[in-house]
Each structure stands twice: as structure tokens, then as C-alpha cells.
Structure 1
Amino acid sequence: MGLKRREFLQQAGLLLAMLGIHERLYYRSYQALAQPTRRKLALLVGINQYPTVNRIEEPLQGCLTDVELQRNLLIYKFGFQPDDIVTLTNEEATRNQIESTFISHLIEQAQMGDLVLFHFSGYGSCIPRYNSVSSQPQIQYSYLPVDVALSEQEAVNDILEDTLWLLLRSLSTSDVITVLDTSFIYPGDHQQGTLKIRAVDRPTTVEVNPAELDLQNQLLSHLSLSREELEQRKPGQLPGLVLAASKPSQVATEGRWDGFNAGLFTYTLTQTLWGASSTDNLPAQISRVAGEVEQIVGPCQQPQLRRTLTGSNVKTEREFSLGNLGVNFHPVDGVITGVEENGKTAKILLTGLPTFVLDSYSLNSILTIIPESNTLENPVYLQLRSRTGLNAKAQIKTSDLTSSFELQTGQQLQEVIRILPRQINLKIALDPKLNRIERVDATSAFSGFSRMTIVASDQPADYLLSRVTDTTIAQALNAPLSPLFEGRYGLFSKGSVLLPDTVGEGGEAVKMAVHRLIPQLKTRLAIKLLRLTENERSSQLKVKASLNLLAPQSQVLIKRETQGILNQVNRENTQTVNSKSSSNQSIISASETIGIVTVAVGSRLQYQLQNQGDFPVYFLLFYCNSEGQTYIFNSVFDPQQQEIAAGKSLSLPPATIYSGNSSTEIIGELVKGPAGLAETHVILSQNPFITTLTNLDKNVKKNEGILKFNLVSNPLDLADSILQDLSLGSQPILDKMGIVTDDLALDINRWATLNFVYRVVG
């Protein structure tokens, strides 16, 4: 039962008096000087069980998982002390409790130089705000606590963004990170494809809870700010670093993965940061997150890093190193969270595995414990025995361990052998808005094609089959469709974004639509298989790759580098030297937003591959555009021409190529479009791709140009061949470790797949 207005205000007043905000905040800066060591404090809020009243039609499902993912990351990766992390979930996360805990745990304890992290996963909204300066109506964003609907009270009980801004400004430290897995604009439906939207409609009343305004007034007084100054703040701008699930005008979503629900942003963010090293910078990691999210849902949700800087607070990009979050650390695929059966079995959290790999990650996969000495002498292997979602159990595989060795909670793991099913299918969900006959006919049509699986709309899926509507047309990246196409069938991302070139003609039956889409679906399956080979963070193969812009200006857009245990040695020193020698350091501006890398049509691109090892490596380079067309770079299908010698580099295409006419010079590869997401997979291996190159001749359309990027007619055949080649190259270690399986068993250290994701814009 909710509190009456008088009781609520009385309790709020007692809380503020008890906390002694004025006195404690006043002396806080002096206490900071006495702090002997840097602390890292965190407040994590996640709410699933919202009451289904007023604005809220249904609860959420992934917010508690978000809190667990974030907490494990902070403890096991970044060295936060468990006692310095406070979590508020479900019924604990009232407006009163969230704000008072922010004050008592963060504001009162954080001192100068400390690191503070605040995370919120739940519903967001927006409410009207009257600007007394301009006399113009505005909106401000808000965060919904679990007691969003107070009975017998008509005032809005949201946590206002103005309040969060004041709370963050009241911290003594400037090292502040706010993670927001929520959104504020309600599009009129809680579902977007197979995903659930974390936003609700704005309230019907504009009256704000007086206790919320009272807290704002006390914080304003402490900060010596007027309400007029507060009203000049731009919506969406908060002090410090803000890691946001999407643009303020977009949605944030949560979805179903293999065995768990989670916020798309939080899951992708934590998974990416597990795979980062202490020398990586945060903007580069957010660009990676943004690319991966767009691979899953399309452009309807674009994660961003926002930083508001002024005056002396402006920093170079180098100062946003993840090393600020903790001591030296390495990329991690998993972590031991418990030990059972007298030390023989480890409970493992697999949050570092690539997102696209987890769903197919199979039993008997092998991981190794990352040693503190950063060497691979006397490795300890663990073999996966069971898995449910991110949680797994593994047993020691190594037979010659000393009696003193013990499995310990907190030990970090990297992949060694990746086991995948021999046959991997594409999962297609049918839109529940299709009628029963349509769903039956579509299921029947798909049953006639191998490697296509129909799943329920609330289960993990790769794509969605649905009708094209007016709303869909408005969201599409391409030109609007004619009215003839409205209501026809098309293929959608999980976020219900229409995939280009998948819409049928008017009057098409759903069975015919399925038959028409099969070639596209096979291409999408090929891309799924290529993504399953990603192993940048755990491969010991010493290779690098970069995507470079040559024109209209010279710039390195994306860098990729293998980050296995051995590859981490001396990396910090190398990167320090490189960063100091750079003549073009990136300056984070006063209000910069960082997201996915964009490339304009008409630009010239080049890939640079580096082999830093002691033996030659062979390579393949696949490029996939937004329409699902796949291109491959080849050199007359000769393995020796697809080789990079030890210690050498290779540019694709070369910086300058002459067409035979001295007056014609081509610089790099021309970006022609189509607009939308593009991704490139660079696969480098110790073994030549014999099977793949044999199949290339019958699966590519030869390019008559000189740059040798050829359209692949059957990319699924080539993707299967690549997995076969990687499997054959892995046989030596399988024999050595005594692994016999009918599944695909891949030696992580025999190859490296480096992935580049960017958006092409017109």
C-alpha cells in the first residue's frame, strides 16, 4: 500500500534531516584530502517487477541480470571491492531509497580522486518541464523507481534527470561514470520485434512529488546554484562520462539470449569490457559496442558515450584508458565464481565470450586459467561439462598438476578449444501479429529447407519474418516504398528494422515470400558462421589489422589486434611510445558523442594487415554490405598469393594502383554504398585455406577491375569451407589433448578473425 502525501513528506523530511545534507556536503572536500588510497564505489539499480498500473503495462525481465553482469565485471575484472558496491533491485529500488543511497554511499564516501559508477536499468520516461527563464515548455527525462505509482497521490514520483544531474554534481570526484540502460521516448508499443522496449508513456499529470523538488532545492543550495541555472541544462547532459544505451530520441531494448534475459546494451557493454585490456581506451570500446548492437537490431538503437567537459577538464583520448578503472588486466573469456566437489569442479561465468558465439558454444570446449606470470608454462586446462546461458561448470583437464594446485574463485580464463555444432542453423521468428494461417503456412514452407529453424517470438532468434507497414517504411534506411508494397512480407532484424531488398510484391502469399527470401537467408547464415570465428581477444596468433581512410583525408578508423596472454607482454610500453609519438591526438570536445564509426559514400578505404609472428600466415578478407551481399578479396585463388610473410605487412588494396594508363591512378577501395551497416571479417591462419580456395572459383563472380574484390554467389558454401579448414588445422592439438568429437573443434591459437563494423552514410 502506498504512503499518504503527509506521511510520505514527513518521512522524506526525516530522511533529509537525518542525512544532514548541508553539513556533510560542506565538509566533504576537506575529508577528501585525508583519503590515503583511491576507492572505487558503485551503486547499481535494476528493476524488473514494476507494478502494472497507470503508465506501465507489463514488467521487465532483464534488469536484474544487468545488475549481476555489471557487478561481476566490476569485482572480477576491475577490482572493485564487494563491500563498495551497493545493489538495489525490485522492491528495494524505491525513489526514496535510490536517492538516499546515492547520497550515503556515493556522495558522502567518495573523495577527491575516487572513482564512482552509477548504473540504472529499468523503465524511463519524459515529463513536461516549465522553463521560468524562457517561459517555454520543455521536457526532461526521468527514471522510474519501483514505487512509480503512489496510491492516493497524483504527483509524479519519477526520479527526474535534474535530480540525477544535481546528485552527480555533488560528488567530490570528477571520475564519474553513469551507465543508463533505459530510454525515454515511448513509441506506442512495448515490443519492437523480438525485443522489449524500456520506456513508458509520459504521465497524465505534470505535478512533481514535492519531496523530489525539496531534495533538488537542498542540493541547489549546497552547490550555490539557482533553479534558473538548473533549467538551462540541456536534456541528456550529465556530469562525467555517460554510457547510454541509445540516443535520447531512440529506444533501449532488452532481449532473450540462450538461457537468460538482459538489456542489449548492458550485455554487449560488459561482454566487450571483459575482452578489453588496460591499455584500451573507452571510446574505441563504445564504438565496438555500437557496431555489435547495430548488427543485432539495426539502427533503431545506437549506444553512445557522452562527455561534458569544460575548461581545464578537457582531456585527450589517451586519458580515457580503461586502465583508469583498475590495475593491469587482460582480456577475459570467463571467470571462476565458485568451486565444488572438493576443488574438482569450477563454476564459471562466460560473460567474456563473444556475443555471437555464446548461443553455439558447446560442451567439451577447453579454457585455460590465465596465470599471474603472463606465460603459458604449465597451463591448467578446464573442460566444459555443462552450460545454462552464461553459467557453466567445468572440470580440470590437465592431468599432471601438482598436489598444491587449487581452483580459486576469481581466477580468470581464456579460450583454448572452441567446440561448435557441426551444423548450425539460422533461427527465424514469426511475428505474432501474423494470423494463424500465415504462421502455419510459413512454418510449412521453411520445413522444406535445411538449416532454417522456426522459433517462438519470445525465444532467441536471428531474424524476424513479418509484414511491411507504414511504420516500417518510415524506419527504413532506403527510399520510401510505393503503396503497392505496404502490408507485404519482408525480413527484419530482431529490433524490427526492415532489411534492405527483402520486400515482396503486392498479393504475394507467405509461402512464396519464404521461397523468395531463402537466398537472402542463406547469405545471412553465412555471415552468422563468419561471426562464430571471432577470437581476437584470446588468439595467440600475433597479427594486427586496421581499417584506414585514405580519402578525402587520411585517418585510421578502426584498429584490431589479437590479445591472447602472450600478446599482452610489453603491450603497455609499446602503446605508450606510440601514443606519445602521435602528432594528431584526439581531443574530446566540450560535449562530444561517440558511437559507431561512419564512412561516407565516395570515400576511399584500405585495410592494412600485419604479421608480427615468426612464421607466415594466410588470410581471407570478406566484406558484407547492408543488403547482405558478400565480397571477397582474392589473388587468383593462389594460396601463396594469400600469404603474409613473418614480420611483414600488407595493404589491401595497395595505397596507389595504376590501371595501365599513367594518367589514371586509383587510391584505395571506393565506397559505393548501399547505405547502412557494413562489416568486414579478416581471417588469418597458420594453415592455408585449401578447401575454401578450391571452392572460390565456382562461387565468385570475377571482377574485371584491378582491385580484386569479387562478389560471392554462394557465401554459405564458402563459410562452411572456412570452418572445415580451421577444423583441419586444429587437429594437432586435438590429438595432443586426446579430444575426440563429432562436433567442430577449433584450436583458438591457429587462427585469428578480426572484425570491423561501420556504417556507410550517403
Structure 2
Amino acid sequence: MEWDRRTFLKTLLTWGISQAGLEWFSRQPKIKRYYQTLATPTPRKLALLVGIDDYGSHYKLKGCVTDVERQRELLIYRFGFAPKDILTLTEQQGTRERIERAFTEHLIQQAKAGDVVLFHFSGYGNYVKENIHDVFPLSSSTRKRGLVPKDGILLTKDTPTTNDFLEETLLLLGQSLATDKLTMVLDTSHQYLGRELEGNLQGRSFPYEAQQPSPEEMTFQTQLKETLKAKNVQAKPSQIVGTLLRAAQHQQVATEIMGNGFSTGLFTYLLTQYLWQATPTSKTIVLLENSSEHMFSIRGQQQQPQLQANQKQPLFTYYLLPVTPQGAEGVIIQVEEKTTATIKLTGLPLSAMQHYELNSCFKVVGSQSLHPIIVQLYFRDGLTGKVRLLEIPQDQTDISPLQKGQLLQETLRVIPKTLGLTVALDKNLERIERVDATSAFASMKIVSSVITAGESGADCVLGRQQKTLILDERDSSKLETEGGYGLFLQGGIPVPNTFGQSGEAIKSAVERLQPALKKLLAIKWWRLTINEGSSGLGLGVTLKNLDQDPSLMLRRQTLRKLSSLKTSLPLTQADFLPSTSFSPNSLQLQYLPQLPQGSRFQCQLENRGDCHIYYLILGVDASGQTTAYLPPQQKNQTQQTAHLSPGESRLVPFSSRGLDWTLASSQGWGQMMIVGSKFPFIKTLETLAEFPGFKLDQGQIFTLEEPLKITQSLLGDLNTSRAFSTELAATLTDSYALDSSTWSTLSIVYQVI
């Protein structure tokens, strides 16, 4: 279904917006301008996508071509780009000259006023020195941002140098377009911090700066400026036309992450995944807010996306609405037979995608059948899978019910019961240290494999903490020393309270770290259940700070159920605005809420669906402690009774009962996961009842010293394989099967300052 102004307004009504809400919409200048322009279809959508993994020698990345593939699939199947209007340059094609020529011929020469244009680059970036001493004798050299093309690395006698495609050139090319609806996505970085890996993630900053721009590049810039001057346009090398999205901020490193059979840019994956699922809207600020939250639990403050835009900042990402209002977790890219097809898994959360199991099921969107068409995953290679029909609907026996381009929505998520941790060993450890650590981990059932950092995906990294000693404050001399052994998250963030004393034997350290590893495994299980985009429950949550202004701080809600509800709680402005304030031209946007140490907070839960929702809250705080909140139950009941009725809104925990949820006293980040289900958490309640001091009729916040016990009970409660046919259930004996229509897990990440 193509969006037009009538469809836009009609869809707002189906989301539950009242007439008063529409009046509020109509008074917002940006929104009013946007849906007025929807009456005139966009003449054309053009894209140039560049991804380079193999730079020759030993300079190689792994996820850049995957980034290009994800963007291309998103543009075609979600935003309606014609395949012929998307030009991709990968590997050998991504030379500096070809990138600049492609931008000129494919974008500048074709785009007209009002057209939508996207440029994406994934690859190495670095800085390029510019010596301006000859022009300004008292000045020193400056540094420009460079994008390293395929032919950009020049092997000299001493150290490599680069022949860069300058970011200044890219901005001048943007100014040469006839349209200002331009989005540039740069999944690269320029600041090299002296190491190839950030934890277990590959960095995209090239380790060497270029000593000067290439003469050919400067000649091309001069030509662009002269062309702009002939059009009476003043060339401004620093001016941004449209919107520029960066994977990392200044002096930060963009990274790529390895999953189960695939590698991808961390930012590109989060960006495209959210745009596949995003309904009702895909506003740029909300997109970055969502991406930042998921990135923060992997990289902390070491990688934060950046937005730069001119005054005409778009209401929606890419200046577009999706061609269909439904979100999706996959798309059919090829039909082999009447009952089998090849799919791309596109909209699943990164945490789930890394351990997505066979036998998971999807519903075909947009089918003409009167009955739901369900396909089951029977083969998977990275992000590509093969599915087969579980049953051919009676009204589809004479035609193929599967078609290329059909979207797929998750209905059943299958997770292995035997899942363990993958621990990466820091490359800086000595060989004997790695041997001893591997031997010590071999006796741990919760550790499934031990690898060397950078080989494949990992959940955490065992390494030494680096300490900096100030030798002399007068000359700022420092000495880097190695501390004790401890754990880092996969993105290089230290796990709180895991580092021992210097001199500790590594086998002793591994033994000491067992409780922390058990917590990490429990948290890994929790995150595997996150399904904000695919859940069929109408659950919403708002995080509020009781010690400051208790207004909206951060909001999360299930996206799919919200978009399909026709009777629900009335939507408010908060449903369509970012949950944190920002300045459109800010280079340091703060997307996550910041809470002072020791703050008290509450969650407001809302049931926007048509069935009871049972709930509990799990959390990990800035000190690494895991907690759980269970609402009060009725006395003398053997199963959970506390629930949200349809249309009900409730604050938890209840402050009037004297129960407060207080933040840790240490700085860092925390995460809360709000789990909802159509069915009571019977096994979870029984496990919690074993804890000392458990009281059934009181809401309680538990410190989970052994969170794995609660986790296994929780997954047992969410497991719905018993509800399926005997044949299907037989294939799920070693797995948990979670039905998207019966459960939801919403995640909220926050900073403690």
C-alpha cells in the first residue's frame, strides 16, 4: 500500500488517535508540511551504497558488504526504491574515482527537486593532514576527515598512507544536488586509538593518517566549486545538505560486530533493524534514540551515533514513510518451489539474531488468503534462511502462496535450552595465560566455547585492566601498567566488580569469576526475549524519576500491537515525540536519560490490548547487580494473580507501600526488562518463593545472587511449545518456543551519573 495524505490520516486514526489528537498533529508545522506533501508522490528515489571489506594486505574488515546488502533490502522492500535506482559499489568497485563518478552520474545528474537521495559508506575512515603553512606561515597543519576507498591504502617503505575520498568532497557533492532530501549514512570513524579491536569488536578506524590529500582529490574539489559557482551557489565545504548520520562521534571508534555466521556494522544493523520494525513512524530522533540504547549496552559511551542536519531536518528518516505500514522481521527474496523460499532476516533484535534457532516461524504479510500463511525456518546461514510452508491454505491450492518481496512477521521464536557463554581471550594475554584460562573454563558448564578475541562473536572478554600511573604532574608523564584479570563486555566495557589484584593466577581468576559469568549468562537469556517490534501484546512502559520532575523520561511500547489496535488507551503527544529533549543542530545529542546516583524511580505500565497481561521486571544496575520486581499477589493463591487488565495503567512499585526502586550508587549504565505474558508466571513464582523473606502478598524487589534459577523458570513459563501440534512440538524438545502473540519483553537502558 502506497502512502498518501488520506492514508496517512486514516492510519493515525487506526492507531487510536482521537480527533483532538489529529488537531494537535495539524498544529505541528513540520508534521503539517509533511503530510501535505504526501499528496504529491515523490518523483524518484535514488541511492548510492558503498561497502569495502578487503583493502588488501592485512587490512580487512568483515561487515561492510553486509551493511550495503541490508540497506539495499531495506530500501527496496520497505521504502519502495526501484532496484535500478540503487547503485552499489563493493570491494573492487569502491575506488575513489568510481565513488565520485557514481555520485555525479547516478545521483547529481538524475536527481531533481523533491527527489529522495541516500548515500551510504561502510569501510575504513581516517584523518588526512593538510599543511597550510605555505599559505599561512604561522599556522600548523589541520586534519580533515577521510573515507578510505578500495584503492586508498598505499604501501610505502615506512608506513602505509592513504589516498582518501575526503568528507569535504562528499559535502560538496551533496550541495551539487538539485534536491535537499539527502541522507548520508557513514558507518566509519577516523580516530585510531592504538588497537585493532574494541573488546571483541573490529574497529573501523584506519591506523595511519594520510600526510596530505591527493592532488587528484583537490583538483576534483576545485571542479565542484567552480560548477557550484556557475550555478550561483556558494560552495561551503563544511555545509551539510539534508541529514548526516554518523556511526560514532568525534574521537570515537565505529565498530562492527560478529554474530552467528555474519558480521555487520553495529550502527548499520541497529539502524536498519529498527526501520524494518518501526511502526507507526520512523522519526530520525526516535531512530537514533533506539539505536543508542541498544549500542550503549554493548559499547557504553565509547560509541554514540551522531546526527547533523540543516534547518530543514526531516520528520521521518530518509524523508520517507515505508510503502506499507506493517513492520517485519524478514522478507522473501526468492521462491524456489510452491512451498519453499529463501528469506533474509532483517528486523530481528541483534541479541536474538545471534542465537536464532531453526523451527522459528513467521506469518506472511499481505497474503490474499483468508487464512494466515505460516512458514517455518529449516535452514539458516547468517542472515539468510530457507523456509517452508507449514500448511497450504485451502483457498491457495491452485496458486503459489509465497511471492518474492512478501514481508514476514515473527510468530514463534525458538531458543536453544543448552545455550552457554562464549568467552574471548584478550590478544594481549601471553600464550601460557590463554592455555591456562582455556583449561580452567573447560570445567564450567555455563561456558560453551573459548576463543581468541576477534575470531568470532563472543559474549565477554577475559583480559587485564589497564591502569595509568601519573609519574610527574609537572610534565604529565604517565606509565601504563597492567592490573588484575577481569571481564569486559563484547564491546570493551569493563564488567563492574570483576577485576582482581595484580599477581593473581589466571586459573584462580577464572574460578573467582564464576558468579559474574552466571549473571552474564542470565542477562544474555533475558535479552534473547526482547521483542518490542514483533510482540502481539499491547504493553507500554514509561520510566519516571521520583526525585526530580516526574514527567516523561523514557518510553517503550510494543510496536506491532499498537499499530493494529482500533480500541485502546488514547495516544498522546508522547507517542510521537522523542522521549529526551534535543537541539536539531547539536553534535552531542543525549539520547538516553541520565539519572543521579541513588535516585528513586518508577515504571508506569499500560495495557493497550484486549487480554490480561501478567508482568514482572528484571534489571541489572550500574554495579553489575541483578534484581527482579514481583508485584503483590493474593494470599493463599498457588499461581500469579497480579495482572494488568485491558485498558489499565499502573505505577510500579507502589510508593505508598514504602517500596522504592533505587539506583546503584556507582556511575555507569543500567538496564530494565519488563516482561509481560498472557499467562501467569507459575514456575517463576515458585522459584522466587524459595528466597528467604519472600512474602506472597507484598510487592518485592529481589537481589538475584543466582539469576540463572529465575531465568530458567521464566523461560519455562514463556515456553509455548505445548500449544502447537504434536509434530511441531516434537522438534522443539531441546528448545524453548516463545509465541509472539503471548509474550513481550521491553528493554529500557539508562545512564547513572
Same fold, TM exceeding 0.5? Answer: yes
Residue 192 of structure 1 is matched in structure 2 by 198
| 1:344 CA drift (Å) | 2.1
TM-score by length of 1: 0.83
The 3-state SS of whatever aligns with 2:227 is helix
1:314–1:587 contact (8 Å) kept in structure 2: no
Partners of 1:520 and 1:399 in 2: how far apart? 48
Partners of 1:631 and 1:69 in 2: how far apart? 36
| 1:691 CA drift (Å) | 0.8
Partners of 1:696 and 1:573 in 2: how far apart? 33
The 3-state SS of whatever aligns with 1:591 is coil
Residue 388 of structure 2 is matched in structure 1 by 395
Partners of 1:535 and 1:486 in 2: how far apart? 40
Corresponding residue to 1:258 among 260, 284, 288: 260
Residue 354 of structure 2 is matched in structure 1 by 359
- Out of 144-153 and 350-359, give the one that drifted further: 144-153
1:542 aligns with 2:538: yes
Residue 754 of structure 1 is matched in structure 2 by 746
1:620–1:642 contact (8 Å) kept in structure 2: no
Residue 9 of structure 1 is matched in structure 2 by none
Residue 651 of structure 2 is matched in structure 1 by 651
Change (3 A) 1:114 1:294: same
| 1:702 CA drift (Å) | 7.0
- 1:498-545 CA-partner distances (Å, limit 9, x unpaired): 222110112211111011111011011111111111122112122222
- Out of 118-127 and 730-739, give the one that drifted further: 730-739
Change (3 A) 1:270 1:455: farther
| 1:302 CA drift (Å) | 1.8
- 1:540-587 CA-partner distances (Å, limit 9, x unpaired): 1222222234542243233222233x5423689999874799899967
1:145 aligns with 2:137: no
| 1:120 CA drift (Å) | 0.4
1:278–1:326 contact (8 Å) kept in structure 2: no
- 1:296-324 CA-partner distances (Å, limit 9, x unpaired): 233322223x13334xx367xxx236772
Matched to 1:264, the amino acid is L
Partners of 2:705 and 2:276 in 1: how far apart? 37
Partners of 1:700 and 1:136 in 2: how far apart? 68
2:582–2:590 contact (8 Å) kept in structure 1: no
Residue 4 of structure 1 is matched in structure 2 by none
Residue 32 of structure 1 is matched in structure 2 by none
Partners of 1:75 and 1:436 in 2: how far apart? 48
The 3-state SS of whatever aligns with 2:526 is helix
2:630–2:699 contact (8 Å) kept in structure 1: no
Residue 29 of structure 1 is matched in structure 2 by none
| 1:380 CA drift (Å) | 0.5
**What are the within-5 Å matches in structure 2 for residues 212-227 of structure 1?**
212-224=217-229
Residue 443 of structure 1 is matched in structure 2 by 438
- 1:315-362 CA-partner distances (Å, limit 9, x unpaired): 7xxx2367724333322111111111x322110111212211123222
**What are the within-5 Å matches in structure 2 for residues 559-574 of structure 1?**
559-564=555-560, 567-569=562-564
**What are the within-5 Å matches in structure 2 for residues 689-708 of structure 1?**
689-699=681-691, 708=700
**What are the within-5 Å matches in structure 2 for residues 336-735 of structure 1?**
336-340=332-336, 342-371=337-366, 377-401=370-394, 402-406=396-400, 407-457=402-452, 458-470=455-467, 486-564=482-560, 567-569=562-564, 578=573, 588-594=583-589, 596-602=591-597, 603-636=599-632, 642-654=642-654, 657=656, 669-699=661-691, 708-727=700-719, 729=720, 731-734=722-725
Residue 171 of structure 1 is matched in structure 2 by 177
1:275–1:537 contact (8 Å) kept in structure 2: yes
Change (3 A) 1:428 1:712: same
Partners of 1:185 and 1:58 in 2: how far apart? 16
| 1:419 CA drift (Å) | 1.5
Change (3 A) 1:92 1:700: farther
Partners of 1:354 and 1:492 in 2: how far apart? 22
Partners of 1:295 and 1:709 in 2: how far apart? 23
Change (3 A) 1:232 1:180: closer
Corresponding residue to 1:287 among 286, 289, 298: 289
Partners of 1:508 and 1:122 in 2: how far apart? 40
2:161–2:208 contact (8 Å) kept in structure 1: no
Residue 189 of structure 2 is matched in structure 1 by 183
Change (3 A) 1:411 1:484: closer
Matched to 2:407, the amino acid is Q
The 3-state SS of whatever aligns with 1:67 is helix
Residue 328 of structure 1 is matched in structure 2 by 324
| 1:82 CA drift (Å) | 0.5
Matched to 1:352, the amino acid is G
Partners of 2:748 and 2:664 in 1: how far apart? 17
Partners of 1:441 and 1:583 in 2: how far apart? 49
Partners of 1:210 and 1:384 in 2: how far apart? 53
Partners of 2:665 and 2:80 in 1: how far apart? 44
2:460–2:487 contact (8 Å) kept in structure 1: yes
TM-score by length of 2: 0.84
Change (3 A) 1:112 1:699: farther
1:466–1:491 contact (8 Å) kept in structure 2: yes
1:635–1:641 contact (8 Å) kept in structure 2: no
| 1:405 CA drift (Å) | 3.6
- 1:108-158 CA-partner distances (Å, limit 9, x unpaired): 211222111110011101122356689454221100111114689999621
1:535–1:754 contact (8 Å) kept in structure 2: yes
- 1:463-514 CA-partner distances (Å, limit 9, x unpaired): 011122237x99xxxxxxx999933211012222322211011221111101
Change (3 A) 1:467 1:588: closer
The 3-state SS of whatever aligns with 2:651 is strand
Matched to 1:103, the amino acid is T
1:278–1:322 contact (8 Å) kept in structure 2: no
| 1:594 CA drift (Å) | 3.6
2:580–2:593 contact (8 Å) kept in structure 1: no
| 1:367 CA drift (Å) | 1.1
Partners of 2:84 and 2:570 in 1: how far apart? 34
**What are the within-5 Å matches in structure 2 for residues 59-138 of structure 1?**
59-129=60-130, 135=139, 137-138=141-142
| 1:635 CA drift (Å) | 3.3
Partners of 2:162 and 2:126 in 1: how far apart? 11
Partners of 1:77 and 1:636 in 2: how far apart? 44
| 1:595 CA drift (Å) | 5.3
The 3-state SS of whatever aligns with 2:323 is coil
2:544–2:603 contact (8 Å) kept in structure 1: yes
Matched to 2:291, the amino acid is V
Structure 2, gaps ≥5 residues long: 1-39, 471-477
Structure 1, gaps ≥5 residues long: 1-34, 475-481, 660-665
The 3-state SS of whatever aligns with 2:386 is strand
Change (3 A) 1:449 1:156: closer
Corresponding residue to 2:46 among 34, 41, 44: 41
| 1:739 CA drift (Å) | 5.6
Matched to 1:394, the amino acid is V
- 1:435-489 CA-partner distances (Å, limit 9, x unpaired): 2222222122112221212332202110011122237x99xxxxxxx99993321
Matched to 1:731, the amino acid is R
2:275–2:282 contact (8 Å) kept in structure 1: no
| 1:44 CA drift (Å) | 0.4
Matched to 1:393, the amino acid is K
Matched to 2:467, the amino acid is D
| 1:735 CA drift (Å) | 5.4
2:721–2:729 contact (8 Å) kept in structure 1: no
| 1:95 CA drift (Å) | 0.9
2:553–2:579 contact (8 Å) kept in structure 1: no
2:155–2:161 contact (8 Å) kept in structure 1: no
Change (3 A) 1:156 1:191: closer
